Amino acid sequence: MKVVKVFNNNVVLGMDERGCERVLLGRGLGFQATPGDEVDADRIERRFVPSSAANADRIAAFIDEIPLADIELTERVVDLARERLGANVTEHVLVPLADHISFALRRAAQGAEEIEYPLRWEVQHLYPAEVAVAGEALDLIERERGVRLATVETVPLALHLVNAQLGAPDLSTTVQMTKVLRRILAHISGEYGLQIDEGSVEVARFVTHLRYLFLREQRGHKLSGTADALHEALRGARPREYVTAGRIGTLLGEEFDWSITTDELLYLALHVSRLVDVGAPRRDDGSVP
């Protein structure tokens, strides 16, 4: 590991043998160090991974100002999230999440008013697994710090965890995805006059499918190779749902500038069919008692 940049006596930017940059924290790491020097590995206490959302400069400023105890607390929250949600909760989440938690603790200490977070309903209904982990995180924070953060704080925590799994560059992409998920469900509800039960297994599966679709598109993976006969069979059996899937594809294409493959449409049509099969008619359209 070589020194690339010295931020201060305790924080340097290092580059390892594979050319990966890491912001390194350790007492005296930067003292009298100059770029090109070998990093004193024994002094490294913590490594942080820069990303487009939190670049090296921002991380350096961040570890200079955020109490180390808050970073350690967040590491435990991230460990908990990995245990519950899987290893796809990437380490990139550490800095933005620690930033959020530290700020939440600061707000609580100063008695600042509760925040009415955007997309509260959507986060609670579309990401129940992340909200549950966020609830456990509040318990963890309370045990460690003796501070019970407001329940509404599960919303941003859950959203950071969703973001971490999407590998999205920043929260705005996750915000956009969340809004689109909601629009898609509303569209299906309106089109078929259905009462969509967000707590149902079918909706959970559909949302999970859409999240993976999102992940595929982010990484440029295109689904292809499904037999034509399958397309024909589903189009024949569920023509209306096939059309709905096409509309969803168009919506995603317009919103994110993606070209949705016909294979993706096939899966969407299957999910829509499932939602239609299990959905109860909407009570507000007067068609059912």
What is residue 164's three-state secondary structure? helix
State the Cα angle at 48 between 123 and 40, rounded to 5°: 170
Least CB distance to other proteins at residue 183 (A): 14
Measured CA to CA, the distance from residue 23 to residue 54 in angstroms comes to 11
- Report 144-173 residues binding other proteins (CB under 8 A): 155-156, 159-160, 171
CA atoms of 83 and 120, how far apart (whole Å):
25
Longest distance between any two alpha carbons in the chain, whole Å: 79
Which of these segments, 41-49, 80-88, 113-121, 267-275, binds other proteins (CB under 8 A)?
113-121
Distance CA 10, CA 263 (A): 52
Among 61, 201, 233, 237, interactor with other proteins by CB under 8 A:
61
Contact range with other proteins by CB under 8 A, out of 44-52, 72-80, 109-117, 126-134? 109-117
- Should residue 103 be labelled a site residue for other proteins when binding is judged by CB under 8 A? yes
Q: Which of 42, 116, 228, 284 binds other proteins (CB under 8 A)?
A: 116
Select the residue interacting with other proteins from 65, 228, 257, 284 (CB under 8 A). 65
Determine, following the binding rule CB under 8 A, whether residue 114 of this chain makes contact with other proteins: yes
Residue from 112, 186, 201, 233 binding other proteins (CB under 8 A): 112
The helix (H) or strand (E) run that includes residue 115 is: none
Q: How far is the CB of 15 from other proteins (least distance, A)?
A: 23
Tokens at 205, concatenated: 């599966």
Smaller CB separation from other proteins, 116 or 228: 116
Strand partners, 47: 24
Residue 113 found at the interface with other proteins (CB under 8 A): yes
Using the rule CB under 8 A, give the single segment among 27-35, 100-108, 250-258, 274-282 that binds other proteins. 100-108
Q: Is the dihedral of CA 14, 73, 98, 88 positive or negative?
A: positive
Binds other proteins (CB under 8 A): choice among 2, 40, 46, 117: 117
**Residue type for 72, please?**
E
State yes or no: residue 62 binds other proteins (CB under 8 A): yes
What is 199-258 written as a DSSP string? TSHHHHHHHHHHHHHHHHHHHT-------HHHHHHHHHH-HHHHHHHHHHHHHHHHHH--
Structure tokens of 195?
A: 């009462």
Closer residue to other proteins (CB): 90 or 261: 90
Minimum distance between the CB of residue 156 and other proteins, rounded to whole angstroms? Answer: 4
In the complex, the residues that contact other proteins under the rule CB under 8 A are 58, 61-62, 65, 96, 99-100, 103-104, 106-107, 110, 112-118, 155-156, 159-160, 171, 175
